[in-house]
Amino acid sequence: MMTEFTPWASLFGGFLIGLAAVLMMLLHGRVFGATGILSGVLFPASSGDWIWRAVLVLGMVSGPALYLLLTGSFPAVEVPVSLPMLLVGGFIVGLGVTFGSGCTSGHGVCGMARLSLRSIVATCTFMLTTFLTVYVIRHLIGG
């Protein structure tokens, strides 16, 4: 499945993701990691610790509605894999981000921006294994 190259939209979207990360640090002194935020809703460190995380997730989920308001359509979500693959992928991602203490937002954006060695190692590692996985699925198995 081909997708259109969208450098400007992607750059602008990236700026907004960065802005959210900076605001999170400026206001609340925390990194913006989707994994940590989500895990904290399920397993709060203390009794009231999940509420702000749930509100943050609610804000994230409202993003497409604001996009709809601004552009007149929802953002494209095209899934190029079967439902079983999606479920297996989701489960594996859940394992990986928990053991690895973070994902693309936590390690790839916030940690890299702090020049954290752990995050740089994690990001290079998952970018490489994602590349290899896509190569194996699309060109060795699928090809």
Partner 1 sequence: MRLITYYIVGLIFGLGISISGMGNPAKVVNFFDIAGTWDPSLIFVMGGALVVTFLGYRVVLGKPKPAMAKEFLLPGKQEIDLPLVGGAIIFGIGWGIGGFCPGGALPVIGTGKSDVMFFVAALLAGIVVARQFQARLL
* Site for partner 1, residues 16 to 35, rule: CB under 8 A: 16-35
C-alpha 88 chain-centroid distance: 17
> 46 or 133, CB closer to partner 1?
133
In whole angstroms, the minimum distance from the beta carbon of 8 to partner 1 comes to 8
Query: Is residue 105 within 8 Å of residue 17, measured between CB atoms?
Result: yes
Closest to partner 1 by CB, 23 vs 46, is: 23
- In the region spanning residues 74 to 133, those forming contacts with partner 1, defined by CB under 8 A, are 74-81, 83, 85-101, 103-105, 107-114, 116-118, 121-123, 125-133
If one asks whether residue 49 binds partner 1 (CB under 8 A), the answer comes out as no
Q: Is 59 in the site for partner 1 (CB under 8 A)?
A: yes
Residues 118 and 106: their CA atoms lie apart, in Å, by 11
Q: What is the dihedral of CA 55, 23, 71, 52, to 10 degrees?
A: 0
- Residue among 128, 1, 132 nearest 77 (CA): 1
Instruction: Report the nearest approach of partner 1 to the CB of residue 47 (Å).
Output: 16
